[in-house]
Structure 1
Amino acid sequence: MDKFEIELAATLNGHQNPIFALENGYFSNTFFSGGNDKGVVEWDLEKKGFKRILCAVSSSIYALHLIPNTPYLAIALREGKVMIVDVENQKLIANLHVSNKAVFALQTIPNKKELVAVGEDGIASVWSLTSYEKVHEFAISSNTIRTVALSHDQKNIVFGDKNGDLFLFSAEDYHFLLANQKHTMPITSLVFSKDDRLVFSGARDAAFKISDVASLKEQHTFTPHMFTVYGIYPHPIYPIMATVSRDKSFKIWEDNTYSLLKAVSRDKFYDSHTLSINTGIWLAEGKYFLTAGDDKLIKIWEMKLP
């Protein structure tokens, strides 16, 4: 990719506690954030400012997931519930009791109209997005599951657990396919490559591993950060991806060579985060990359192409 620059476009404050989740908005030029505060916040990307409190919650938010082709936002909570909120009408649609333990990650299977929720109990809970009833449940691991990813063709779904193990299941009927220990510490980020041939994983061992989906065998590994890799985010258009970390930095990498293109942190003289970056997201077709974390701030970074 040609050379590019990243500039800080805005810093948004208002959260009183660490932020764990960012998600696309239903309306154009909006997005959501959530964390240890008792509410989901909606922001205006165009005005780069606060829009509204979408809804109050009763415990910490660990994941936000906008259900594709709907105005419904799924909100995963520490108390084991998942709230489904109609963003357009600001109305609670369903309150799913998933577990007695924390729910850490959510994933929809759009062609099946199903929502998969996973968390501290190591069990996947599958919910109908038409009736909001539980339609299936299956055990993945005896350890906490913190992250999940769906292949673009919606055929495979992969989970990462606290032991560093990857678990590959069929997304069509949820039967088990493969498992392999990829990391020495908990897996905290997962994503499929754009062609679905590879799965990328990041973990608390600070490693980034590339595994072949057909066998889960490791193809390549490198150390992108000093500490936990909390997120891996392929750009929606360009052959690049971003990673965010507990080491207070985010970095941009080339897709195929995994060569470093840009490192953004206070050490690199950017007005970046002072504490762990817990989450990120590409918005506006990849014009902006947003980061948020323990310093309670959201940073909007603008891609500057030559």
Structure 2
Amino acid sequence: MVHVEQIATLPGHQNPVYTVEPSQKPGIIFTAGNDKGVVEWSLRKREFIKVMFPVASSVYSLHCPVNAPILMAGERNGQVDVFDFIQQKITSRLIHHKLPVFDIKSVKSKSEILVASEDGTVSVWNLLTYELLYSFKVSNETVRVIAVSPDEKLVAFGSKDAVIRIYNLTDFSLIEELKEHQLPITSLCFSPDGRFLLSGSRDAQLKAWAVPEFNLHQSVPAHLFAIYDIKFHPVLPYFATASRDKTIKIWDADLKLLKIISIEKGYPNHILSVNKIAWDPETGNLISVSDDKLMMIWNVEFDS
């Protein structure tokens, strides 16, 4: 059994919230969207702290590398802002893409940053110097999402053309193309043990691919509309999905549905699309953000 209780609803944004990212510092989380700045929140006090920095356009992605004291924000105008926590200011802007940046991930073992854009390319940057190392074409359409395997040997890119492409992280050579989804890929996540890659799409299907062969292991009609995010619990064998259908769902590692968080099920949930979710590493609480301009915090407890 799974027990879910909403423990906070935090207003503050004036427009839809597109992304949420836990800080490297426990108890802190960041959100951003179609507003004029990136916002810092206290999860412990469940309250607004401050606007971290202004932005020139909507923010579609946030990323906090585990091995660097920075916050990165990918904007609609194609730039990536780098906010340094030590200096408490933006110290660099990664200027390369001319179209929106939809995802940012880092590779700790290589000290590299991966940036995915609507232009169909992925750029690779040095995490220490912010030098552009190279850029390569992944798709003729938007690259929407990036997933790095736990051992940092593989990276998966999900694109608007409905294809998932698997690359070797050593030399960025293409390994496999997965073409089972019928509509654009909107979410990707490797399982913590590295045995599976989970994918979500605008076709509302949740698929599990066995690694390293990338055979389709399982497919589930998980939602009514696009699956915008997939996130595994920080320590337990469960994960959550977020969807345009206004629901959040909790699953076990075998893709068995355990809980539906929705207004129809009696929860004070979001009234519009749930765009991103995150687990608080400190408490195990689940955080969600939505087009309804709200961030919500959920206490999720699993029976042993």
| Deviation of the 1:222 alpha carbon | 0.6
Tell me which of 198, 201, 208 is aligned to 1:200. 198
Tell me which of 159, 162, 165 is aligned to 1:164. 162
Q: Which residue of structure 2 aligns with residue 300 of structure 1?
A: 297
Partners of 1:31 and 1:279 in 2: CA distance: 13
Q: Which residue of structure 2 aligns with residue 51 of structure 1?
A: 49
Partners of 2:300 and 2:178 in 1: CA distance: 37
Tell me which of 259, 264, 275 is aligned to 1:262. 259
Contact 2:24–2:66, Cα closer than 8 Å, also in 1: no
SS at the partner of 2:264? helix
SS at the partner of 1:221? strand
Partners of 1:214 and 1:30 in 2: CA distance: 35
Q: Which residue of structure 1 aligns with residue 180 of structure 2?
A: 182
Q: Which residue of structure 1 aligns with residue 171 of structure 2?
A: 173
Partners of 2:285 and 2:252 in 1: CA distance: 17
Tell me which of 263, 273, 286 is aligned to 2:270. 273
The one-letter amino acid of 1:287's match is G
Poorly superposed stretches of 4+, deviation over 3 Å:
none
Partners of 2:285 and 2:96 in 1: CA distance: 34
Q: Which residue of structure 2 aligns with residue 126 of structure 1?
A: 124
The one-letter amino acid of 2:36's match is K
| Deviation of the 1:294 alpha carbon | 0.4
Q: Which residue of structure 2 aligns with residue 282 of structure 1?
A: 279
The one-letter amino acid of 1:196's match is G
The one-letter amino acid of 2:257's match is L
Partners of 2:136 and 2:302 in 1: CA distance: 46
Q: Which residue of structure 2 aligns with residue 149 of structure 1?
A: 147
Structure 2 spans left out of the alignment, 5+ residues: none
Q: Which residue of structure 1 aligns with residue 90 of structure 2?
A: 92
- Alignment pair present for 1:34 and 2:50: no
| Deviation of the 1:28 alpha carbon | 2.1
Partners of 1:96 and 1:193 in 2: CA distance: 30
| Deviation of the 1:69 alpha carbon | 2.4
Contact 1:25–1:42, Cα closer than 8 Å, also in 2: no
The one-letter amino acid of 2:285's match is Y
- Alignment pair present for 1:109 and 2:107: yes
Q: Which residue of structure 2 aligns with residue 214 of structure 1?
A: 212
Q: Which residue of structure 1 aligns with residue 226 of structure 2?
A: 228
The one-letter amino acid of 1:281's match is A
Partners of 2:248 and 2:237 in 1: CA distance: 17
Contact 2:74–2:102, Cα closer than 8 Å, also in 1: yes
| Deviation of the 1:290 alpha carbon | 0.4
Partners of 2:164 and 2:184 in 1: CA distance: 10
Tell me which of 10, 16, 19 is aligned to 1:18. 16
Contact 2:204–2:223, Cα closer than 8 Å, also in 1: yes
Partners of 1:299 and 1:274 in 2: CA distance: 12
Structure 1 spans left out of the alignment, 5+ residues: none
Partners of 1:47 and 1:286 in 2: CA distance: 13
Q: Which residue of structure 1 aligns with residue 7 of structure 2?
A: 9
SS at the partner of 1:74? strand
Q: Which residue of structure 1 aligns with residue 74 of structure 2?
A: 76
Q: Which residue of structure 2 aligns with residue 237 of structure 1?
A: 235
SS at the partner of 1:111? helix
SS at the partner of 1:163? coil
| Deviation of the 1:305 alpha carbon | 4.6
Contact 2:139–2:161, Cα closer than 8 Å, also in 1: no
Contact 2:21–2:62, Cα closer than 8 Å, also in 1: yes
Partners of 1:76 and 1:32 in 2: CA distance: 13
Describe the superposition over 1:102-122 as per-residue Cα deviations: whole angstroms up to 9, x where unpaired.
Answer: 110111011111101011011
Describe the superposition over 1:228-250 as per-residue Cα deviations: whole angstroms up to 9, x where unpaired.
Answer: 10011111111111001001010
| Deviation of the 1:137 alpha carbon | 1.2
